[in-house]
Amino acid sequence: MPVILAKKALVEPIKFKLTKLISPFCKQHLDDEYEKLCEKMIDKMARKQIPPFLSGKLEVWAASIIYAVGQVNFLFDKSSKPHVSGENIATYFKVSQSTIGQKAKTIRDMFKISYYNEEFLTKKMHNSFPKFGMTESGFIITINKNLS
């Protein structure tokens, strides 16, 4: 039991600092939904036996979390709203874009996050991906979620 309390005492201040780094970026460049998804990611990372953000620069982790969430939501696509480039994220946090790209991949791999993983999708992206179902005869079909 004391180990769990020690871990929580160590992790909570870092979670708070990460949130304080990410929040202004989301308010300035993204939206509340991205901020909540990033906070969800921080919480999920904190539950790891050894949270990865306990080592390394917090600015790199903050940028990488935004980058990872952004990748699965097509944040870097110019036609996407909101839209931010990886370079903009790196510049804001004063870190290397290649470093945050690598850390973002580590995060995505750690939690098996892909374009079809709904856990970290915005509502817009969630609604844009087709859903699949199976007919009684075994045929796979897409299901239109917008039908009433």
Q: What is the pLDDT of residues 40-49, one digit of tens each?
A: 999 999 999 8
Looking at residue 70, which CATH number applies to its domain?
Answer: 1.10.472.10
Can you give the residue range of the structural domain that contains 52? 2-118
Q: Classify residue 98: in a domain, yes or no.
A: yes
For the stretch 97-115, pLDDT in tens is 999 999 999 999 999 998 7
Query: What is the rounded average pLDDT of the residues 52-69?
Result: 95
Q: Classify residue 34: in a domain, yes or no.
A: yes
Q: Classify residue 135: in a domain, yes or no.
A: no
Query: What is the rounded average pLDDT of the residues 32-39?
Result: 96
pLDDT of residue 147: 42
Give pTM, 2 decimals: 0.82
Q: For 104, what's the count of Cα atoms within 13 Å in the CB-facing half-sphere?
A: 23
Amino acid (1-letter code) at residue 63: A
pLDDT of residue 1: 44
Q: Classify residue 28: in a domain, yes or no.
A: yes
Report whether the peptide linkage leading into residue 82 is cis, meaning its omega lies within 30 degrees of zero.
yes
pLDDT of residue 79: 87
User: How far is the first Cα of the chain from the last one, in angstroms, to the nearest whole number?
Assistant: 50
For all residues of the chain together, what is the average pLDDT? 86
Q: Classify residue 137: in a domain, yes or no.
A: no
- pLDDT of 22 > 50? The answer is yes
Cβ neighbourhood burial of 102 (10 Å; 0-12, 13-18, 19+): middle
Q: Classify residue 126: in a domain, yes or no.
A: no
pLDDT of residue 129: 63
pLDDT of residue 132: 54
- Structural domain count of the chain: 1
Q: Classify residue 145: in a domain, yes or no.
A: no
Q: Classify residue 23: in a domain, yes or no.
A: yes
